[in-house]
Structure 1
Amino acid sequence: MARPQVVRGGTVFDGLGNPGRRQDLLIEDGVVTALLPPDAAAPDDAEVVDARECWVTPGFIDIHTHYDAELELLPALGESVRHGVTTVFLGSCGLSLAIGAPGELADMFCRVEGIPRSVVAPLLEAGKDWDGPASYLEHLDRLPLGPHVAALLGHSAIRAATMGLGRSLDARVRPSAKELAAMQGLLREALDVGYLGLSINTLPWDKMGGEEFRSRPTPTVFAGWSEYRALARLLRERGRVLQGVPNLSTKLNVLLFALLSAGRLRPALKTSLIALMDPIAGRGIHRLTGLILRLTNRLLGGDLRFQALPNPFDLWVDGLEVPVFEEFGAGTEALHLERPEERAALLRDPAYRRRFRRQWGDRLRGRAYHRDFARAHVVACPEAALVGKSFAEIAAARGRDAVDTFLDLAAEHGDALRWYTVVANDRPAELEWILRHPDILLGFSDAGAHLRNMAYYNFPLRMLRLVREGEKRGRPVMSIERAVQRLTGELAQWFGIDAGTIRVGGRADIVVVNPAGLDETVEQMQELPVVATPDPGAPPWADFGGLRRLVRRNDAAVRHVLIRGRMAWTAGALVPELGHERSFGGVLRATSG
């Protein structure tokens, strides 16, 4: 039996929104067994966890990740754990590994999420030992998980499994009554064993990879609303969640999601959408969306929420390798070509350039990306003199059109051209307005995806820093206790899982945050290998193709992380046992319905 632990000297925020209190925590066998006065007596053999001058919070919850593939290779998920995240959700955006053939799952997953197919396909071929929603959770239970995991069922996966991948990707085909019943059966199975709900995607610029169906939207996009409603009825009956991706270009089908969530004459449908932001391409849309949220929930009796990030939404891009180019046809046309020489030839073609320029500047069609070359700056390039300059500045110096200049550089240098831009949440006052909105769910890190484009693994720390800096300026965004609640207990309660609070009898998922470490270093970016030291003799794909991913790390901000009462992060390092022993995280199942 493990020694008792006492977390001593900290200010405890319980995740329920109560003000912080100086207390010590007694932990025995992975459970909080007492909340003690400061410096109270503890068992003689207790291990002391130093929390002096620190905040003690429940483990943070990341409600939107794409760790589905990574945890098969790296179940520690250390990039999240080191930032205090002790629970992650899988199965977002209609994507799931719960059912399907390995190659088809890789085709659905990899291009959309910016993960190498050369890694995911052989990984699944070698290790897939499940054949449906229930056996998938059993498989996850067998892994030496770092954080806890909870799962949504991906609509693309069950649609392809019941209709066949080709039919599921054909806009002319609707599922037969038998096929729809089979989808409903798979969803019932998932809900019975504790899935949080179902994820769907209506965004057509999320595209298939692989060869056979390359560049078609993923299967869930081809469904009609009658199909979505038929599946949503099961969720409504069970009090489970529908996670949805609206069409971010037009944004109009947010209203259809609002109507689907509406209650009054029926139970409200818990609906979580992606994502409430202040985009440069659509100033004010977040205010309108916030109004729709309030009206849906107050007047229509709905339970509609938007996920939101507490930080600017910024992107790093190698050449054209980023999903925002999928929102118009010429961008998809280029991304369809995987061979660098073929893509370069297309980018140099005059007819293609005319198509690209026309669609790039089309303001009649909605857009999510600002497409402003003055806001995109080169951060790495074989032409060193270009680093630090915007594409607009480079074009002006060359006496060239900005679109032509960008295509010139992308054709010449391919992925060696690396650039940076901010897409949304660049105005602090508007971001603070979003974070205070009562109908948001704090999260949307996309952890485990877009490894070369984004790094939001530490969003809880960025949230706490933002709130703390507001207090220091005398212009509070919200209280620290409310911020902690938004990162923990509020999420757990809404999704129906046992997590997110510090209470006697509760599981000891605990973070010790050093507020002095919440400084500007939480914003600093690094590029580090996904797998630092592959095991000797491991298969060639086990190093994640040698890929370097973006991370933000400031290890001084989190002093300790305990998962189920076991130390997972301390003294600036993950413990060696994390990801190797099955005594940290487990599968969390929905408790509602």
Structure 2
Amino acid sequence: MTEYDVVIRGGMVFDGSGAAPVAADVGVRDGKVAAIAPGLPDGVRTIDAAGRWVMPGILDVHTHYDAEALVAPGLGESVRHGVTSVVLGNCSLSTVYAGAEDCADMFARVEALPWDIVHGAIKESKTWQDPAGYAAALESRPLGANVAAFIGHSDIRATVMGLGRSVDAEARPTDTELAAMRRMLTDALDAGFVGLSTIRSSFSKLEGTRFPARQLPSTYATWREYRRLNRILRKRGRVHQSTPNLAMPAEVALYLAQSVGSLFRRPLKTTLIAAADVKADRRASWAATFAATLANRFGGEFRWQHLPVPFEVYADGVDLVVFEEFGSGAAALNVRDEMERGKLLADESYRRRFRKDVAKRFGPRVWHRDLYDAEIMACPDASVVGKSFGAVADERGIEPADALLDLAVEHGSKLRWRTTIANDRDDVLDRLQQSPVVQVGFADSGAHLRNMAFYNFGIRLLERVHQRGFMPVETAVHRLTGELADWYGLDAGYLRQGHRADITVIDPAGFDGTSSAYAEAPFPAGGSPQRMVNRNDRAVTATLVNGHIVYAEGEFAEGFGTTLHAGTFLRATDR
């Protein structure tokens, strides 16, 4: 009888702790790591890892897979890039309590997901009534990766108050309603949820026909409401995840203060998006890390989430989330019909507002609004492809803002363009990835189908480390695995005897510079949209989840996402 189900032969084994790797074989039996030693006999399946890195599976702590996990539970775009555990329910959005219409209204615009797909996923799948039932429903599905979850504040607030009252700036929850929210949060933590997610961002708008363009419910809450919920998180040692309002940068101080403990209270684990070297404000990353360092020095437990790659975004016409940050941009996004939007963009009074907004160079903002730094990737008018809007404007003798609007009016969503809004300087990116107040996250996997593609963020970090050498490989592995698992209180992130066999095999020879290349793939949750992705399959030899080889040599396992039950629901524990 063969002693091992799988043997990974002859690799350099990283255990996820930050310790130096060892040359060894890894034997897997019954979903666990049974042995790490040289000279193991062959298993039922043997993977040749000579010259390769064998490491714990990568954790992706900031995803919006909530709808996709219900109807396409393989989560293959992450699995193929070495991710074995994901955390969903971020940014106040979860699908635990609210009904299908409320969920679709809350997810569709802010996360750039088709309304009907979100609505259909919840309507067709929902059998649960509470967080424990939700966890059981996920576990019953053929998950390709392990799943952990936040409970979303907008989810519970809309359920308790009704969506209409929850997005009314004049409405406040009653004491009875606040007590109900606290019970719902407690039930979620009892079911193993990692914590609560909230949001303050003015970017976060509702879709749908009932309350279009209002912000998400969580943004209407007072800090008194947050404090009432935070007391539960603090007592249990769980996490508060949030997105601040970039129009009110001083508000970040309230998050920092809530994280700080004292003789009379525990620190509150708090993580925000995002630490980034923003082109529009080159001081932002320094200020963010300095403030977090100071808060932690005084007893805080604060982390900025950070995308460890250049933050490149794409837009079809004017469909891009950063347009929410200025009045004329939000006004265009409020018009969902493409013909009506075209009429608005052609209106001269609107154009005056748009030119003024784009020209503004002061105040909090994410997008640099430099239309000479915006490359047209596709357009029915082939003469503009490869040029910036600024270059097109110079050729036509008009303003860059008018060049963008002219092309958007003429071609609508067939106009595709890109720009990099942050993380374009290698030295600053290197510094951020080594900061103790920064954690690797904010991939936004599962969201923004046509805007962002960061499913392979972990591979791209390892590639940068391998090529630039700004930190030891074992440190980078730790930052992607054990460090995150420990902070979120999850049983993951380590490759050790007796632990669950969530393993990624990396071939550094596959770091060939293609990891940032643009590609598209069908959206697995159905419908017509193509999803923007990156693909660098040569870098990942194999991904194992709970001992199952779910992806190897460019192919998914038989039954992946349909009959193969590899992943499970990861439950956090009190700390």
Q: CA offsets, 1:142-170, max 9 Å, x none?
A: 11110000000000000000011100001
CA distance in 2, matches of 1:230, 1:370: 37
Q: Are 2:104 and 2:118, in contact at CA under 8 Å, matched by a contact in 1?
A: yes
Quote the Cα distance in structure 2 between the aligned partners of 1:570 and 1:396: 50
- What SS does the corresponding residue of 1:23 show, helix, strand or coil? strand
Q: Does 1:465 align with 2:447?
A: no
1:130 maps onto 2:128 in alignment:
yes
Q: 3-state DSSP class of the match of 1:587? A: coil
1:556 aligned counterpart, secondary structure: helix
Whether contact under 8 Å (1:249, 1:368) holds in the other structure is: no
Which amino acid in the other structure matches residue 563 of structure 1?
V
- What letter corresponds to residue 533 of structure 2 in structure 1? V
Shift of residue 577, structure 1, vs aligned partner? 1.5
| Shift of residue 50, structure 1, vs aligned partner | 1.3
Comparing 548-557 with 359-368, greater Cα deviation is found at 359-368
Using the TM superposition, give the Cα deviation of residue 521 of structure 1 relative to its aligned residue in structure 2, in angstroms.
Answer: 1.1
The answer (yes or no) to whether the contact 1:250–1:365 under 8 Å persists in 2 is no
1:492 aligned partner: 485
Conservation of the 8 A alpha-carbon contact between 1:275 and 1:306: yes
* 1:296 maps to 2:295: yes
1:528 to 508, 521, 534: 521
| One-letter identity of the residue aligned with 1:67 | Y
Contact 2:27 2:40 in 1 (8 A): no
Q: What's the CA shift for 1:592?
A: 2.6
Aligned length: 573
Report the Cα offset of residue 360 of structure 1. 2.9
Amino acid at match of 1:478: M
1:580 aligns with 2:555: no
1:121 maps to which of 112, 119, 122: 119
Q: How far off its partner does 1:582 sit?
A: 4.8
User: Residue type of the partner of 2:508?
Assistant: P
Indicate conservation of the 8 Å contact 2:202/2:246, yes or no. Answer: no
* Aligned equivalents of 1:252, 1:108: Cα separation in 2: 26
Q: Deviations over 1:56-102 (max 9, x none)?
A: 00000000000101112210010000000000001000000011110
* Residue equivalent to 1:186: 184
Matches within 5 A, 1:12-411: 12-37=13-38, 40-42=39-41, 46-265=44-263, 266-298=265-297, 300-411=298-409
Superposed, 1:543-562 pairs within 5 Å as: 543=526, 545-562=527-544
The gaps in structure 1 that reach 5 residues or longer are 471-475, 532-541
Q: C-alpha separation between the residues in 2 aligned to 1:311 and 1:256?
A: 28
TM-score by length of 1: 0.95
Q: How does 1:500-515 map to 2 (within 5 A)?
A: 500-515=493-508
**2: CA distance between counterparts of 1:109 and 1:186?**
20
Deviation digits for residues 1-42 of structure 1 (CA, Å, limit 9, x no counterpart): 9953221100000000000110111111011111112xx243
Whether the aligned pair in 1 keeps the contact of 2:558 and 2:564 (CA below 8 Å) is no
Mapped to 2, the partners of 1:33 and 1:445 lie a distance apart of 32
1:571 to 2:553 alignment: yes
Classify the secondary structure of the residue corresponding to 2:559. coil
2:104–2:116 CA contact under 8 A, matched in 1? no
CA distance in 2, matches of 1:350, 1:6: 67
Q: Secondary structure at the match of 1:397?
A: helix
Cα deviation, residue 288, structure 1: 1.1
Letter in 2 for 1:51: A
8 Å CA contact 2:260–2:299 kept in 1: the answer is yes
Distance in 1 (alpha carbons) for counterparts of 2:452 and 2:385:
20
Q: Distance in 2 between matches of 1:343 and 1:361?
A: 21
2:372 is paired with a residue whose SS is helix
| Aligned equivalents of 1:414, 1:463: Cα separation in 2 | 35
Q: Are residues 336 and 276 of structure 1, via their aligned partners in 2, closer, same or farther at CA, if it must alter by over 3 Å?
A: same
Query: C-alpha separation between the residues in 2 aligned to 1:123 and 1:36?
Result: 45
Could you tell me whether the CA contact under 8 Å between 2:56 and 2:503 is conserved in 1?
A: yes
SS state of the match for residue 280, structure 2? helix
1:364 positional shift: 4.6
Whole-angstrom distance in 1 between the partners of 2:357 and 2:372: 18
How much is the aligned-residue C-alpha RMSD, in angstroms? 1.3
Query: What is the rounded CA distance, in whole Å, between the counterparts of 1:321 and 1:267 in structure 2?
Result: 43
Residue pair 1:378, 1:389 contacting (<8 A) in 2 also? yes
TM-score by length of 2: 0.98
Q: How far has the Cα of 1:480 moved from its partner?
A: 0.4
Q: Which 5+ residue runs of structure 2 have no aligned equivalent?
A: none
Q: Deviations over 1:258-296 (max 9, x none)?
A: 001011232100001101000001112101111111100
Partner letter of residue 291 of structure 2?
Answer: I
Partner of 2:474, secondary structure, is helix
For residue 313 of structure 2, give the secondary structure of its aligned residue in structure 1: strand
CA distance in structure 1 between the partners assigned to 2:368 and 2:286 by the alignment: 18
The CA distance in 1 between the partners of 2:103 and 2:30, in whole Å, is 39
Give the Cα–Cα distance (whole angstroms) in 2 for the partners of residues 179 and 15 of structure 1: 43
TM-superposition CA deviations, 1:352-397 (whole Å, max 9, x none): 1122222333345421111110111111111100001100111111
Change (3 A) 1:186 1:228: same
% identical equivalent positions: 47
Do 1:498 and 1:591's aligned partners in 2 also have CA atoms closer than 8 Å? no
Q: Deviations over 1:478-513 (max 9, x none)?
A: 100000000000000000000000111100011110
Contact 2:69 2:138 survives alignment (8 Å): no
